[in-house]
Structure 1
Amino acid sequence: MPEPILDVRNLSVALPDDAGWRTIVSSVSFDVGQEIVALVGGSGSGKSLTARAIMGLLPARARPTADRLTCGGDDLRTLTEREWTRRRGKLLALMPQDPKMSLNPGQRIGVQIEETLLLHTSLRKEERREAALDMLVRLGLADAERIHRSYPRQLSGGMAQRAMMAAMLVNRPRLLIADEPTSALDREVQTQILALLRSLTVDLGMGLLLISHDLVQVARFADRVIVMRQGRIEEELAAHELADARSAYTRGLWAARPSAKTYGGRLPTADEAL
Protein backbone atom coordinates (compact mmCIF):
# COMPACT_ATOMS: atom_id res chain seq x y z
CA MET A 1 0.00 0.00 0.00
CA PRO A 2 1.36 3.48 -0.84
CA GLU A 3 2.06 5.88 2.00
CA PRO A 4 -0.87 8.25 2.63
CA ILE A 5 -0.38 11.91 1.75
CA LEU A 6 -1.77 12.94 5.14
CA ASP A 7 -1.41 10.76 8.24
CA VAL A 8 -3.07 11.87 11.48
CA ARG A 9 -2.80 9.78 14.66
CA ASN A 10 -4.36 10.74 17.99
CA LEU A 11 -4.66 14.44 17.25
CA SER A 12 -6.11 16.43 20.14
CA VAL A 13 -6.65 20.15 20.57
CA ALA A 14 -7.27 21.83 23.93
CA LEU A 15 -8.31 25.41 24.61
CA PRO A 16 -8.14 27.27 27.92
CA ASP A 17 -11.30 28.02 29.87
CA ASP A 18 -12.16 29.10 33.41
CA ALA A 19 -11.58 25.57 34.74
CA GLY A 20 -8.17 25.15 33.07
CA TRP A 21 -7.97 23.33 29.73
CA ARG A 22 -10.89 21.93 27.76
CA THR A 23 -10.28 19.32 25.05
CA ILE A 24 -12.20 20.31 21.92
CA VAL A 25 -10.78 17.70 19.53
CA SER A 26 -9.96 14.36 21.15
CA SER A 27 -7.75 11.55 19.78
CA VAL A 28 -8.68 11.94 16.11
CA SER A 29 -6.98 9.51 13.71
CA PHE A 30 -7.36 9.22 9.94
CA ASP A 31 -5.41 9.40 6.70
CA VAL A 32 -5.89 10.82 3.21
CA GLY A 33 -4.40 9.37 0.05
CA GLN A 34 -4.97 10.44 -3.55
CA GLU A 35 -8.71 10.68 -2.97
CA ILE A 36 -11.49 12.85 -1.57
CA VAL A 37 -12.11 12.31 2.13
CA ALA A 38 -15.05 14.25 3.57
CA LEU A 39 -15.08 15.43 7.18
CA VAL A 40 -18.68 15.90 8.28
CA GLY A 41 -20.63 16.50 11.49
CA GLY A 42 -22.85 18.99 13.23
CA SER A 43 -21.83 22.51 14.16
CA GLY A 44 -19.21 22.47 16.91
CA SER A 45 -18.15 18.88 16.17
CA GLY A 46 -14.50 19.89 15.66
CA LYS A 47 -14.23 19.70 11.85
CA SER A 48 -12.72 23.12 11.20
CA LEU A 49 -10.52 23.00 14.30
CA THR A 50 -9.09 19.69 13.07
CA ALA A 51 -8.35 21.28 9.68
CA ARG A 52 -6.67 24.28 11.28
CA ALA A 53 -4.53 22.02 13.44
CA ILE A 54 -3.33 20.22 10.30
CA MET A 55 -2.55 23.56 8.63
CA GLY A 56 -0.73 24.96 11.70
CA LEU A 57 -3.29 27.77 11.92
CA LEU A 58 -4.62 27.29 15.44
CA PRO A 59 -4.94 30.33 17.73
CA ALA A 60 -1.87 30.96 19.88
CA ARG A 61 -3.70 29.91 23.04
CA ALA A 62 -4.54 26.44 21.63
CA ARG A 63 -2.60 23.38 22.74
CA PRO A 64 -2.38 20.69 20.02
CA THR A 65 -0.87 17.23 20.55
CA ALA A 66 -0.55 14.23 18.23
CA ASP A 67 1.30 10.92 18.13
CA ARG A 68 1.77 11.45 14.39
CA LEU A 69 0.91 14.31 12.04
CA THR A 70 2.62 14.10 8.66
CA CYS A 71 1.95 15.41 5.17
CA GLY A 72 4.05 14.22 2.26
CA GLY A 73 6.39 12.64 4.80
CA ASP A 74 7.01 15.94 6.65
CA ASP A 75 6.37 15.98 10.40
CA LEU A 76 4.00 18.93 10.84
CA ARG A 77 4.33 18.89 14.64
CA THR A 78 7.87 20.24 14.62
CA LEU A 79 7.68 23.01 12.01
CA THR A 80 8.70 26.55 12.88
CA GLU A 81 6.64 29.45 11.52
CA ARG A 82 9.25 30.05 8.81
CA GLU A 83 9.06 26.38 7.80
CA TRP A 84 5.26 26.58 7.75
CA THR A 85 5.48 29.56 5.38
CA ARG A 86 7.51 27.45 2.95
CA ARG A 87 4.98 24.60 3.05
CA ARG A 88 1.63 26.38 2.95
CA GLY A 89 0.73 26.73 -0.70
CA LYS A 90 3.32 24.16 -1.77
CA LEU A 91 2.87 21.05 0.36
CA LEU A 92 -0.66 21.78 1.57
CA ALA A 93 -3.22 24.49 0.98
CA LEU A 94 -6.47 25.66 2.58
CA MET A 95 -9.47 26.83 0.56
CA PRO A 96 -11.70 29.03 2.78
CA GLN A 97 -15.49 29.17 2.80
CA ASP A 98 -16.20 32.53 1.18
CA PRO A 99 -13.90 33.50 -1.72
CA LYS A 100 -15.32 37.01 -2.02
CA MET A 101 -14.23 37.68 1.58
CA SER A 102 -10.87 35.94 1.19
CA LEU A 103 -9.71 37.50 -2.06
CA ASN A 104 -8.05 40.91 -1.75
CA PRO A 105 -10.52 43.42 -3.26
CA GLY A 106 -7.69 45.80 -4.18
CA GLN A 107 -5.63 43.34 -6.22
CA ARG A 108 -6.28 41.84 -9.62
CA ILE A 109 -7.06 38.12 -9.70
CA GLY A 110 -3.89 37.31 -11.64
CA VAL A 111 -1.67 38.89 -9.00
CA GLN A 112 -3.36 36.84 -6.28
CA ILE A 113 -3.07 33.56 -8.19
CA GLU A 114 0.59 34.15 -9.02
CA GLU A 115 1.54 35.07 -5.44
CA THR A 116 2.08 31.42 -4.47
CA LEU A 117 4.36 30.89 -7.48
CA LEU A 118 6.29 34.05 -6.59
CA LEU A 119 6.84 32.74 -3.05
CA HIS A 120 7.62 29.12 -3.83
CA THR A 121 9.16 28.94 -7.32
CA SER A 122 11.82 30.60 -9.44
CA LEU A 123 9.51 31.02 -12.44
CA ARG A 124 9.86 34.21 -14.46
CA LYS A 125 6.99 36.70 -14.61
CA GLU A 126 5.70 35.46 -17.97
CA GLU A 127 5.92 31.82 -16.82
CA ARG A 128 3.90 32.65 -13.70
CA ARG A 129 1.29 34.35 -15.86
CA GLU A 130 1.04 31.35 -18.19
CA ALA A 131 0.69 28.98 -15.23
CA ALA A 132 -2.11 31.12 -13.77
CA LEU A 133 -3.95 31.27 -17.08
CA ASP A 134 -3.57 27.53 -17.57
CA MET A 135 -5.08 26.82 -14.15
CA LEU A 136 -8.01 29.18 -14.81
CA VAL A 137 -8.72 27.30 -18.06
CA ARG A 138 -8.48 23.96 -16.23
CA LEU A 139 -11.11 25.28 -13.85
CA GLY A 140 -13.57 25.93 -16.65
CA LEU A 141 -12.99 29.66 -17.18
CA ALA A 142 -12.69 29.98 -20.94
CA ASP A 143 -12.23 33.76 -20.71
CA ALA A 144 -9.10 33.33 -18.61
CA GLU A 145 -7.39 36.50 -19.87
CA ARG A 146 -10.27 38.69 -18.68
CA ILE A 147 -10.53 36.90 -15.33
CA HIS A 148 -6.77 37.26 -14.84
CA ARG A 149 -6.94 41.06 -15.09
CA SER A 150 -10.25 41.43 -13.21
CA TYR A 151 -10.83 42.49 -9.61
CA PRO A 152 -12.86 40.21 -7.29
CA ARG A 153 -15.85 42.61 -7.34
CA GLN A 154 -16.15 42.05 -11.09
CA LEU A 155 -16.69 38.30 -10.74
CA SER A 156 -19.76 36.23 -9.94
CA GLY A 157 -19.71 33.93 -6.91
CA GLY A 158 -18.90 30.89 -9.06
CA MET A 159 -16.10 32.70 -10.90
CA ALA A 160 -14.64 33.98 -7.63
CA GLN A 161 -14.67 30.44 -6.24
CA ARG A 162 -12.80 29.17 -9.29
CA ALA A 163 -10.31 32.03 -8.98
CA MET A 164 -9.70 31.08 -5.34
CA MET A 165 -9.26 27.44 -6.38
CA ALA A 166 -6.71 28.53 -8.99
CA ALA A 167 -4.75 30.42 -6.33
CA MET A 168 -4.71 27.33 -4.09
CA LEU A 169 -3.91 24.81 -6.84
CA VAL A 170 -1.57 26.65 -9.19
CA ASN A 171 1.48 25.36 -7.28
CA ARG A 172 0.06 21.81 -7.24
CA PRO A 173 0.03 21.09 -3.48
CA ARG A 174 0.02 17.48 -2.29
CA LEU A 175 -3.02 18.13 -0.06
CA LEU A 176 -5.89 20.59 -0.40
CA ILE A 177 -8.19 21.23 2.56
CA ALA A 178 -11.48 22.72 1.38
CA ASP A 179 -13.60 24.13 4.23
CA GLU A 180 -17.23 24.33 3.03
CA PRO A 181 -16.03 25.45 -0.42
CA THR A 182 -19.50 25.68 -1.98
CA SER A 183 -21.66 26.92 0.90
CA ALA A 184 -22.27 30.36 -0.66
CA LEU A 185 -23.14 29.04 -4.14
CA ASP A 186 -26.34 27.83 -5.78
CA ARG A 187 -26.87 24.11 -6.31
CA GLU A 188 -25.83 23.99 -9.95
CA VAL A 189 -22.57 25.85 -9.33
CA GLN A 190 -21.90 23.70 -6.22
CA THR A 191 -22.08 20.59 -8.39
CA GLN A 192 -19.78 22.12 -11.00
CA ILE A 193 -17.17 23.09 -8.39
CA LEU A 194 -17.18 19.68 -6.70
CA ALA A 195 -16.93 17.92 -10.06
CA LEU A 196 -13.91 20.08 -10.88
CA LEU A 197 -12.29 19.29 -7.53
CA ARG A 198 -12.82 15.57 -8.09
CA SER A 199 -11.26 15.77 -11.56
CA LEU A 200 -8.28 17.79 -10.32
CA THR A 201 -7.66 15.33 -7.47
CA VAL A 202 -6.88 12.77 -10.16
CA ASP A 203 -5.15 15.11 -12.63
CA LEU A 204 -2.83 16.70 -10.05
CA GLY A 205 -2.30 13.53 -7.99
CA MET A 206 -3.33 15.26 -4.77
CA GLY A 207 -5.41 14.44 -1.73
CA LEU A 208 -8.49 16.46 -0.83
CA LEU A 209 -9.91 16.82 2.67
CA LEU A 210 -13.41 18.21 2.15
CA ILE A 211 -15.20 19.75 5.14
CA SER A 212 -18.90 19.86 4.42
CA HIS A 213 -22.38 19.81 5.91
CA ASP A 214 -23.97 18.72 2.60
CA LEU A 215 -24.20 14.94 2.85
CA VAL A 216 -25.96 14.61 -0.50
CA GLN A 217 -23.00 16.18 -2.30
CA VAL A 218 -20.56 14.26 -0.11
CA ALA A 219 -22.21 10.95 -1.05
CA ARG A 220 -21.92 11.91 -4.70
CA PHE A 221 -18.36 13.21 -4.90
CA ALA A 222 -16.31 11.87 -1.95
CA ASP A 223 -14.59 8.50 -1.67
CA ARG A 224 -14.66 8.16 2.11
CA VAL A 225 -16.45 9.97 4.93
CA ILE A 226 -15.28 10.67 8.48
CA VAL A 227 -18.12 11.64 10.80
CA MET A 228 -17.23 13.79 13.83
CA ARG A 229 -19.33 14.38 16.93
CA GLN A 230 -18.30 16.37 20.00
CA GLY A 231 -14.66 16.41 18.96
CA ARG A 232 -14.34 12.68 18.30
CA ILE A 233 -14.67 10.45 15.29
CA GLU A 234 -18.06 8.80 15.44
CA GLU A 235 -17.73 6.67 12.33
CA GLU A 236 -15.71 6.21 9.13
CA LEU A 237 -17.30 4.71 6.04
CA ALA A 238 -17.36 4.73 2.25
CA ALA A 239 -19.30 7.68 0.88
CA HIS A 240 -21.78 5.47 -0.95
CA GLU A 241 -22.68 3.82 2.37
CA LEU A 242 -23.95 7.01 4.03
CA ALA A 243 -27.59 6.04 3.62
CA ASP A 244 -26.90 2.73 5.42
CA ALA A 245 -24.56 4.00 8.16
CA ARG A 246 -24.08 1.91 11.32
CA SER A 247 -24.02 4.89 13.70
CA ALA A 248 -27.37 6.31 14.79
CA TYR A 249 -25.78 9.78 14.74
CA THR A 250 -24.69 9.40 11.10
CA ARG A 251 -28.14 8.12 10.19
CA GLY A 252 -29.55 11.19 11.93
CA LEU A 253 -27.33 13.49 9.87
CA TRP A 254 -28.50 11.74 6.72
CA ALA A 255 -32.15 12.02 7.78
CA ALA A 256 -31.69 15.75 8.43
CA ARG A 257 -30.71 16.52 4.85
CA PRO A 258 -33.17 18.84 3.07
CA SER A 259 -35.10 17.45 0.11
CA ALA A 260 -38.23 18.06 -1.94
CA LYS A 261 -40.14 15.75 0.39
CA THR A 262 -39.22 17.76 3.49
CA TYR A 263 -39.69 21.21 1.94
CA GLY A 264 -41.71 23.45 4.25
CA GLY A 265 -41.52 21.06 7.18
CA ARG A 266 -39.29 20.68 10.21
CA LEU A 267 -36.10 18.68 9.71
CA PRO A 268 -35.00 16.41 12.57
CA THR A 269 -31.67 17.05 14.28
CA ALA A 270 -28.98 14.42 14.21
CA ASP A 271 -29.12 14.02 18.00
CA GLU A 272 -32.83 13.19 17.84
CA ALA A 273 -31.85 9.91 16.18
CA LEU A 274 -29.87 8.81 19.24
Structure 2
Amino acid sequence: MTSLALFSLLYFLSVFTLTDSSLSSITTAAPPAASKCTLLNSFQPGFFVQGDYVIGGIFPLHFNLKKPDLNGTYRPPPINCNGHRLYPRAFRWAQAMRLAVEEINQNPALLLNHTLGYKIFDSCGYPLTGQRAVLSMLNGLSEENSSMCTNGSSLLAVIGASGSAQSIVLSRILQPFRIPMISYSSSCACLSDRQKYPTFFRVIPSDDYQVKAIARLLVQFNWTWVGLLRGDNDYGRFAAKGLLRELQETKVCVAYQEMIPLLYTRQGGLRIMKV
Protein backbone atom coordinates (compact mmCIF):
# COMPACT_ATOMS: atom_id res chain seq x y z
CA MET A 1 0.00 0.00 0.00
CA THR A 2 1.43 3.37 -1.03
CA SER A 3 1.17 6.80 0.57
CA LEU A 4 -1.31 7.73 -2.17
CA ALA A 5 -3.53 4.94 -1.00
CA LEU A 6 -3.46 6.42 2.43
CA PHE A 7 -4.56 9.83 1.13
CA SER A 8 -7.80 8.34 1.52
CA LEU A 9 -15.12 8.89 8.15
CA LEU A 10 -19.22 8.82 11.91
CA TYR A 11 -22.86 9.31 11.30
CA PHE A 12 -23.63 13.00 11.85
CA LEU A 13 -27.28 13.95 12.02
CA SER A 14 -28.11 17.47 10.85
CA VAL A 15 -31.58 18.81 10.17
CA PHE A 16 -33.33 22.08 9.71
CA THR A 17 -35.65 22.80 12.62
CA LEU A 18 -38.54 25.19 12.52
CA THR A 19 -39.21 27.62 15.32
CA ASP A 20 -42.61 27.86 16.95
CA SER A 21 -43.38 30.92 14.92
CA SER A 22 -42.51 29.07 11.73
CA LEU A 23 -44.83 26.21 12.60
CA SER A 24 -47.65 28.59 13.39
CA SER A 25 -47.12 30.41 10.12
CA ILE A 26 -47.55 27.15 8.23
CA THR A 27 -50.82 26.36 9.92
CA THR A 28 -52.23 29.93 9.71
CA ALA A 29 -50.95 30.66 6.17
CA ALA A 30 -49.19 33.79 7.47
CA PRO A 31 -45.81 34.89 6.04
CA PRO A 32 -43.21 32.40 7.28
CA ALA A 33 -40.73 33.52 9.91
CA ALA A 34 -37.01 33.04 9.41
CA SER A 35 -35.94 29.45 10.01
CA LYS A 36 -33.04 28.71 12.26
CA CYS A 37 -30.48 26.20 11.01
CA THR A 38 -29.10 24.06 13.82
CA LEU A 39 -27.25 20.79 14.14
CA LEU A 40 -28.90 18.37 16.51
CA ASN A 41 -25.84 16.26 17.15
CA SER A 42 -22.09 16.52 16.85
CA PHE A 43 -19.16 14.25 16.24
CA GLN A 44 -15.57 15.42 16.45
CA PRO A 45 -12.73 14.10 14.26
CA GLY A 46 -9.84 12.25 15.84
CA PHE A 47 -7.31 14.38 13.96
CA PHE A 48 -7.97 17.83 12.55
CA VAL A 49 -5.90 20.53 10.89
CA GLN A 50 -7.34 23.68 9.34
CA GLY A 51 -6.49 24.65 5.79
CA ASP A 52 -7.72 26.52 2.73
CA TYR A 53 -8.67 23.15 1.27
CA VAL A 54 -9.72 20.15 3.35
CA ILE A 55 -9.42 16.41 2.69
CA GLY A 56 -11.40 13.94 4.76
CA GLY A 57 -10.08 10.63 6.00
CA ILE A 58 -12.04 7.59 7.26
CA PHE A 59 -10.11 4.81 8.98
CA PRO A 60 -11.26 1.89 11.20
CA LEU A 61 -9.07 2.87 14.13
CA HIS A 62 -11.28 0.64 16.29
CA PHE A 63 -13.35 -2.36 15.28
CA ASN A 64 -15.82 -2.56 18.13
CA LEU A 65 -18.82 -0.21 18.26
CA LYS A 66 -20.77 0.75 21.38
CA LYS A 67 -24.33 0.95 20.07
CA PRO A 68 -26.70 3.28 21.94
CA ASP A 69 -30.36 2.60 22.54
CA LEU A 70 -32.13 4.14 19.55
CA ASN A 71 -35.85 3.83 20.32
CA GLY A 72 -36.94 7.08 18.67
CA THR A 73 -38.38 8.68 21.82
CA TYR A 74 -35.47 10.99 22.66
CA ARG A 75 -32.45 12.63 21.12
CA PRO A 76 -29.98 9.86 20.24
CA PRO A 77 -26.75 9.81 22.25
CA PRO A 78 -23.37 9.81 20.49
CA ILE A 79 -22.12 6.58 18.97
CA ASN A 80 -18.71 5.74 20.37
CA CYS A 81 -16.05 3.28 19.35
CA ASN A 82 -14.57 0.95 21.90
CA GLY A 83 -11.27 2.52 22.84
CA HIS A 84 -9.85 -0.77 24.11
CA ARG A 85 -9.57 -2.38 20.68
CA LEU A 86 -7.23 -0.19 18.64
CA TYR A 87 -6.42 -1.41 15.13
CA PRO A 88 -2.70 -0.61 14.75
CA ARG A 89 -2.64 -0.99 10.99
CA ALA A 90 -5.43 1.56 10.46
CA PHE A 91 -3.70 3.90 12.91
CA ARG A 92 -0.59 3.77 10.73
CA TRP A 93 -2.75 4.55 7.68
CA ALA A 94 -4.10 7.67 9.39
CA GLN A 95 -0.61 8.75 10.43
CA ALA A 96 0.61 8.29 6.85
CA MET A 97 -2.17 10.59 5.62
CA ARG A 98 -1.16 13.21 8.20
CA LEU A 99 2.47 12.96 7.11
CA ALA A 100 1.54 13.30 3.44
CA VAL A 101 -0.46 16.47 4.10
CA GLU A 102 2.41 17.95 6.10
CA GLU A 103 4.84 17.20 3.30
CA ILE A 104 2.55 18.89 0.77
CA ASN A 105 2.21 22.00 2.90
CA GLN A 106 5.96 22.23 3.36
CA ASN A 107 6.58 22.10 -0.40
CA PRO A 108 6.05 25.61 -1.84
CA ALA A 109 5.91 24.25 -5.38
CA LEU A 110 2.72 22.23 -4.79
CA LEU A 111 0.21 24.62 -3.19
CA LEU A 112 1.51 28.14 -3.58
CA ASN A 113 -0.09 30.55 -1.08
CA HIS A 114 -2.55 27.85 0.04
CA THR A 115 -2.61 25.21 2.75
CA LEU A 116 -4.11 21.75 2.84
CA GLY A 117 -6.05 20.62 5.89
CA TYR A 118 -7.63 17.34 6.94
CA LYS A 119 -10.37 15.82 9.07
CA ILE A 120 -9.69 12.22 10.05
CA PHE A 121 -12.49 10.22 11.65
CA ASP A 122 -12.72 6.79 13.24
CA SER A 123 -15.37 4.69 11.49
CA CYS A 124 -15.10 1.69 13.88
CA GLY A 125 -15.34 -0.38 10.70
CA TYR A 126 -19.11 0.24 10.67
CA PRO A 127 -21.24 1.91 7.93
CA LEU A 128 -23.37 3.91 10.40
CA THR A 129 -20.41 5.64 11.98
CA GLY A 130 -18.85 6.19 8.58
CA GLN A 131 -22.06 7.90 7.50
CA ARG A 132 -21.90 10.21 10.49
CA ALA A 133 -18.33 11.07 9.63
CA VAL A 134 -19.11 12.04 6.05
CA LEU A 135 -22.01 14.25 7.10
CA SER A 136 -19.80 15.80 9.76
CA MET A 137 -17.23 16.66 7.12
CA LEU A 138 -19.86 18.31 4.97
CA ASN A 139 -21.57 20.23 7.77
CA GLY A 140 -18.68 21.46 9.89
CA LEU A 141 -16.93 20.63 13.11
CA SER A 142 -19.59 21.66 15.59
CA GLU A 143 -22.89 23.43 16.02
CA GLU A 144 -21.18 26.78 16.54
CA ASN A 145 -19.00 26.94 13.44
CA SER A 146 -21.02 24.88 10.97
CA SER A 147 -20.70 26.14 7.41
CA MET A 148 -23.80 24.33 6.21
CA CYS A 149 -26.14 27.26 6.86
CA THR A 150 -24.02 29.97 5.27
CA ASN A 151 -21.80 28.60 2.51
CA GLY A 152 -20.52 25.49 0.80
CA SER A 153 -18.19 22.98 2.37
CA SER A 154 -14.45 23.26 1.75
CA LEU A 155 -14.19 19.46 1.49
CA LEU A 156 -12.38 18.45 -1.69
CA ALA A 157 -12.17 14.67 -1.36
CA VAL A 158 -12.53 11.79 1.09
CA ILE A 159 -9.95 9.05 1.59
CA GLY A 160 -11.81 5.88 2.56
CA ALA A 161 -13.49 3.79 3.51
CA SER A 162 -11.93 0.53 4.60
CA GLY A 163 -14.74 -1.91 3.78
CA SER A 164 -16.82 -2.16 0.62
CA ALA A 165 -20.12 -2.01 2.52
CA GLN A 166 -19.01 1.28 4.07
CA SER A 167 -17.80 2.72 0.77
CA ILE A 168 -21.11 1.92 -0.92
CA VAL A 169 -23.01 3.95 1.68
CA LEU A 170 -20.56 6.84 1.84
CA SER A 171 -20.09 7.23 -1.91
CA ARG A 172 -23.84 7.60 -2.38
CA ILE A 173 -23.85 10.46 0.14
CA LEU A 174 -20.97 12.25 -1.57
CA GLN A 175 -22.13 11.62 -5.14
CA PRO A 176 -24.72 14.48 -5.35
CA PHE A 177 -21.99 16.91 -4.29
CA ARG A 178 -19.53 15.52 -6.84
CA ILE A 179 -16.96 14.96 -4.10
CA PRO A 180 -14.64 12.08 -5.02
CA MET A 181 -13.87 9.27 -2.61
CA ILE A 182 -10.64 7.31 -2.96
CA SER A 183 -10.57 4.00 -1.12
CA TYR A 184 -7.46 2.16 0.01
CA SER A 185 -9.04 -1.26 0.66
CA SER A 186 -12.63 -1.49 -0.70
CA SER A 187 -12.36 -4.14 -3.40
CA CYS A 188 -15.97 -5.12 -4.21
CA ALA A 189 -16.41 -5.47 -7.96
CA CYS A 190 -19.76 -3.70 -7.66
CA LEU A 191 -17.96 -0.41 -7.02
CA SER A 192 -16.54 -0.51 -10.55
CA ASP A 193 -19.97 0.39 -11.94
CA ARG A 194 -19.42 3.96 -13.14
CA GLN A 195 -23.16 4.54 -13.55
CA LYS A 196 -23.89 3.83 -9.89
CA TYR A 197 -20.64 5.09 -8.39
CA PRO A 198 -19.26 7.81 -10.70
CA THR A 199 -17.27 9.55 -7.95
CA PHE A 200 -15.73 6.44 -6.36
CA PHE A 201 -12.10 5.55 -7.03
CA ARG A 202 -9.61 3.16 -5.44
CA VAL A 203 -5.95 2.30 -5.52
CA ILE A 204 -6.27 -1.51 -5.30
CA PRO A 205 -7.66 -4.06 -7.78
CA SER A 206 -11.29 -5.13 -7.60
CA ASP A 207 -12.39 -8.58 -6.47
CA ASP A 208 -12.75 -9.71 -10.07
CA TYR A 209 -9.06 -10.64 -10.05
CA GLN A 210 -9.33 -12.45 -6.71
CA VAL A 211 -12.37 -14.43 -7.85
CA LYS A 212 -10.66 -15.47 -11.08
CA ALA A 213 -7.57 -16.54 -9.16
CA ILE A 214 -9.61 -18.68 -6.74
CA ALA A 215 -11.44 -20.33 -9.64
CA ARG A 216 -8.17 -21.15 -11.38
CA LEU A 217 -6.71 -22.61 -8.18
CA LEU A 218 -9.72 -24.90 -7.77
CA VAL A 219 -9.36 -26.12 -11.35
CA GLN A 220 -5.59 -26.49 -11.03
CA PHE A 221 -5.85 -28.76 -8.00
CA ASN A 222 -8.81 -30.70 -9.46
CA TRP A 223 -11.23 -29.82 -6.69
CA THR A 224 -14.65 -30.96 -7.83
CA TRP A 225 -16.73 -30.55 -4.64
CA VAL A 226 -16.50 -27.36 -2.58
CA GLY A 227 -18.54 -25.33 -0.13
CA LEU A 228 -18.91 -21.57 -0.27
CA LEU A 229 -18.97 -19.43 2.87
CA ARG A 230 -19.56 -15.68 2.56
CA GLY A 231 -20.50 -12.67 4.63
CA ASP A 232 -23.94 -11.06 4.70
CA ASN A 233 -22.95 -7.87 2.89
CA ASP A 234 -22.38 -6.56 -0.61
CA TYR A 235 -18.76 -7.62 -0.50
CA GLY A 236 -19.69 -11.24 0.16
CA ARG A 237 -22.67 -11.30 -2.21
CA PHE A 238 -20.79 -9.96 -5.22
CA ALA A 239 -17.75 -12.13 -4.55
CA ALA A 240 -19.90 -15.29 -4.37
CA LYS A 241 -21.77 -14.29 -7.50
CA GLY A 242 -18.51 -13.74 -9.36
CA LEU A 243 -17.05 -17.06 -8.23
CA LEU A 244 -20.13 -18.97 -9.35
CA ARG A 245 -19.89 -17.25 -12.70
CA GLU A 246 -16.24 -18.25 -13.13
CA LEU A 247 -16.97 -21.88 -12.22
CA GLN A 248 -19.82 -22.39 -14.67
CA GLU A 249 -17.72 -23.94 -17.43
CA THR A 250 -15.60 -26.07 -15.10
CA LYS A 251 -15.99 -29.39 -13.31
CA VAL A 252 -16.03 -27.70 -9.90
CA CYS A 253 -19.34 -28.24 -8.11
CA VAL A 254 -20.40 -25.78 -5.41
CA ALA A 255 -22.24 -28.24 -3.20
CA TYR A 256 -23.64 -25.72 -0.73
CA GLN A 257 -23.52 -22.05 0.23
CA GLU A 258 -23.60 -20.66 3.74
CA MET A 259 -23.79 -17.07 4.91
CA ILE A 260 -22.33 -15.55 8.08
CA PRO A 261 -25.17 -13.27 9.28
CA LEU A 262 -24.63 -9.70 10.41
CA LEU A 263 -26.37 -10.50 13.71
CA TYR A 264 -24.09 -13.36 14.61
CA THR A 265 -25.13 -15.86 17.27
CA ARG A 266 -23.39 -18.87 18.73
CA GLN A 267 -26.22 -21.14 17.60
CA GLY A 268 -25.89 -19.85 14.05
CA GLY A 269 -22.15 -20.38 14.08
CA LEU A 270 -22.50 -23.95 15.32
CA ARG A 271 -25.07 -24.67 12.59
CA ILE A 272 -22.70 -23.39 9.90
CA MET A 273 -19.86 -25.48 11.31
CA LYS A 274 -22.06 -28.59 11.30
CA VAL A 275 -22.94 -28.02 7.64
The TM-score bracket by the shorter chain reads under 0.3
Q: How does the TM-score come out when normalised to structure 1?
A: 0.26
Task: Determine which structure has the larger helix proportion and give its number.
Answer: 1
Greater Rg by CA: 2
Q: How does the TM-score come out when normalised to structure 2?
A: 0.26
Question: Which protein, 1 or 2, shows the higher relative CO under an 8 Å CA cutoff with sep ≥ 6?
Answer: 1
